[in-house]
Structure 1
Amino acid sequence: MPYLGLRSNMLIGNIPKEFCQFPNLHILDLAHNNLSGPIPRCLGNLGALKFTVIFNRSEYRDLYEPFLEHLEMFVKGRQDEYIKIIPVLNLIDLSSNHLTGEIPEEITNLSALGSLNLSWTQLSGKIPGNINNLQQLESLDLSGNHFTGPIPPSMSSMTFLSHFNVSYNNLSGPIPTTKQFQTFNDPSIYEGNPYLCGSPLTTSCTSGFRDPQYKDAGVDDEDSSSEMLWFYVGTALGFILGFWVACGTLMIKRSWRHAYFRFVKETQDKLFVVTVVSVAGCRRKLAQVFRR
């Protein structure tokens, strides 16, 4: 099966792992459903998306003929109609679902993948640092999620990438400026990330700009120092207050003062007696040992 299109079917539940068992699957379109749960890691094992293969159309006619005439797909941010399509359109579209978790590292094994759309799926975590392994990728849409951290600088080497969108996430740090990123001049593909900086955004990565992870760390340190300061102040005040309450009570109440000193004297006498008895017992035992 080269094409599995279940777009807009009100599907619920997790993405079945059985989809990973289609070695000839080139197109997986599950967009606009109510699917939930994580992206199956086994999708990284889809053989047709891992290797670039030159097909002999006559040999694969029976397999691909139903999909060679007419197909509508949402690629590079727009819906296109493909006529006489050949089996080289490698695409995964899981957009507009309720998926959770991170992008599986295994997805970066799909080196022949041409389009990956994970927009508006509630995914989180960081963009995989080795996403540049997808060297054939032409379209990557990660907008409308909860991704954090930087845009991996390694993505600059993805020379086929012509459509890129990470708007409305929680990304931070400087936008890469070399190689392929010099072609992404539309600020809207980065908007909704208040801690991103650099061209084409108006926020410059100056010394005054603070990445949220460092900002949070600074706030935590300040909070910790403040808490420790108040702890010591509270301890000192408590000691002083307790000391003067005790001393003041003893000075004002004569009966309490007499009772207190009597208690101290009795305790001292008891400790003295216990100490003397213990020392005498030890001496007797030592004397018996030496006599033997």
Structure 2
Amino acid sequence: MQPQAFSIDLGLNNFSGPIPCILNGASFLDLSNNQFSEPIPPNFTSTMQRLNYFSARGNQISGMIPSFIEGMNSLTVLDLSRNNIGGIIPLSLGNCIALKALDLSKNRLSGGIPTSLGLLRQLQTMHLSNNNLSGEIPSSLKKCASLETLDLGHNNFSGYIPTWIGKSFPALRILSLRSNMFTGNIPAQLSNLTSLQILDVGQNCLSGSIPQSFEDLVAMKKTNLNLSYGRTGTYYNENLLVSVKGLILEYTRTISLVICMDLSRNNLSGEIPKGLTSLLGLRVLNFSENHLTGKIPDKIGKLALLESLDFSKNQLSGIIPLSMSNLTFLSYLNLSFNNLWGKIPSGNQLQTFQDPSIYIGNSGLCGSPLPNKCVDDETPHTPMPIGGDLEKDKEEYEMRWFYSAIGPGFAMGFWAFCGVLILKKPWRIAYYRFFDDLENRLCFNCHCS
């Protein structure tokens, strides 16, 4: 008769030293957030075929991922993140065919992603971020059709972003390839990921334009989110580092609330697709530090849930759309170092942004909070209705300048003429004689007719 399975939870303590050999037969083993050090002992799980959950997250474990892990056929969650584990990811990890969550992030792993990970057909979450991994993304991963999270950020991966990602992962919600060395264009096929909530390819060497097809990212259009997302496997809570409001924040239980598109710090060019304003669920939008040109989409105000917007350090031109004042949830804005001009819109949420650095580096901008005032500062700047026309917006702006110049111009011309007549007596006499002669001629012509 086999012994009954049991759980061991030693998490969130101050245990130190080597990992002890735990009693056999455990199905749940949590050693997370302690101070265990040294490598995992080779006989640690020699008879733990029943182990379903194993977490040693947040310790000081060194050494390598042990090879005995291939015998854990029942393992659904393996979390060794936030340690000092080095070496390579072992090929034998592909034998854990029941795995649903694999988290090896924040270690010192090197080498590439083994092709054997393509055998993990039930895998839903893969975190390999913040290591020293390199090479290309192996095509064998396309067999992991259940993936919901693919986090490879902050490594040394290179090559193109595979186009097959857009076809192979119908349930993918998080794609983070941030801070690597990927080159080439952003695949338009990523728009086929109808469940994608977070797309982060920032800080790479990507070029080309932003795909127009991104307006078809279905999940980014939703304003009602699936709050149950974020738990994978047994007791495993999803987590991710996201660049938000100029900071790197870690999201865990609230990850389902984040809808983010971050294409920052690349070599992207061309204009911002107008269709992106249909992604009504977006809360974070970051296109900073690229070579984008053209204008800020005039319907940007449709993104009513936007909390963080960063278009800084590009080559954007034109005026700031008045519809931006409709972004009432906006708490972070950066439009600095572009070629924007005209008066900074005010009203609603925009009037709360009093930091001039938000707009610095745009020599043509004027108005609060910048020190250089606009000519028509006394004219109220009312918010533009959502979906306003950019050309009409520009025409109204130019007409304000035209009419504001008519009055002073007329007054100056009138008094210049009258002043000459008052001060110059010969000119005044000649002026009146001209009208007397003109009257006589008109009367003469009438008499003759």
Q: TM-score category by the smaller chain?
A: 0.5 to 0.7
Identify the match of residue 45 of structure 1 among 216, 233, 236. Answer: 216
For the structure 1 residues 170 and 23, does the alpha-carbon distance in structure 2 shift closer, same or farther, using more than 3 Å as the test?
same
Instruction: Quote the residue 1:217 is aligned against.
Output: none
Cα distance in 2 for residues equivalent to 1:124 and 1:133: 21
Identify the match of residue 16 of structure 1 among 187, 206, 215. Answer: 187
1:8 Cα deviation after fit = 1.2
Structure 2 residue 259 is matched with structure 1 residue 90: yes
**Which SS does the other structure have where 2:213 is aligned?**
helix
Instruction: Quote the residue 1:31 is aligned against.
Output: 202
1:111-170 deviations in Å (ceiling 9; x for gaps)? 000000000111010000001111111110000000101100111111011111000000
For the structure 1 residues 4 and 196, does the alpha-carbon distance in structure 2 shift closer, same or farther, using more than 3 Å as the test?
same
Query: RMSD of the TM alignment (CA)?
Result: 2.2
Identify the match of residue 140 of structure 1 among 291, 301, 309. Answer: 309
Instruction: Check whether the contact 1:69–1:85 (CA below 8 A) recurs between aligned residues.
Output: no
Cα distance in 2 for residues equivalent to 1:118 and 1:29: 11
Count of aligned pairs: 208
Identify the match of residue 99 of structure 1 among 268, 288, 293. Answer: 268
Instruction: Check whether the contact 1:26–1:88 (CA below 8 A) recurs between aligned residues.
Output: no
Instruction: Quote the residue 1:206 is aligned against.
Output: 375
Cα distance in 1 for residues equivalent to 2:226 and 2:261: 20
Instruction: Check whether the contact 1:41–1:104 (CA below 8 A) recurs between aligned residues.
Output: yes
Identify the match of residue 73 of structure 1 among 242, 249, 263. Answer: 242
Q: Which amino acid aligns with 1:126?
A: K
**Which SS does the other structure have where 1:146 is aligned?**
coil
1:53 Cα deviation after fit = 2.2
Cα distance in 2 for residues equivalent to 1:152 and 1:91: 22
Q: Which amino acid aligns with 1:90?
A: I
**Which SS does the other structure have where 2:291 is aligned?**
coil
Identify the match of residue 125 of structure 1 among 282, 285, 294. Answer: 294
1:177 Cα deviation after fit = 1.4
1:86 Cα deviation after fit = 3.4
Structure 2 residue 242 is matched with structure 1 residue 108: no
What is the identity percentage for the equivalent residue pairs of Structure 1 and Structure 2? 47
Instruction: Check whether the contact 2:227–2:257 (CA below 8 A) recurs between aligned residues.
Output: no
**Which SS does the other structure have where 1:126 is aligned?**
coil
Task: Tell me the TM-score normalized by structure 2.
Answer: 0.44
Instruction: Quote the residue 1:6 is aligned against.
Output: 177
1:61 Cα deviation after fit = 4.6
From the two aligned structures, give the one with the greater helix fraction.
1
1:56 Cα deviation after fit = 5.4
Identify the match of residue 328 of structure 2 among 159, 167, 186. Answer: 159
Cα distance in 2 for residues equivalent to 1:151 and 1:10: 33
Structure 2 residue 344 is matched with structure 1 residue 192: no
1:219-246 deviations in Å (ceiling 9; x for gaps)? xxxxxxxxxxxxxxxxxxxxxxxxxxxx
Cα distance in 1 for residues equivalent to 2:334 and 2:352: 13
Cα distance in 2 for residues equivalent to 1:167 and 1:156: 17
Identify the match of residue 169 of structure 1 among 333, 338, 361. Answer: 338
Higher relative contact order (CA 8 A, sep 6+): 1
Q: In structure 2, list runs of 5 or more residues that go unmatched.
A: 1-171, 378-393, 399-449
Q: In structure 1, list runs of 5 or more residues that go unmatched.
A: 215-292
1:88 Cα deviation after fit = 1.9
**Which SS does the other structure have where 2:325 is aligned?**
helix
Task: Tell me the TM-score normalized by structure 1.
Answer: 0.67
Instruction: Check whether the contact 2:227–2:256 (CA below 8 A) recurs between aligned residues.
Output: no
1:18 Cα deviation after fit = 1.6
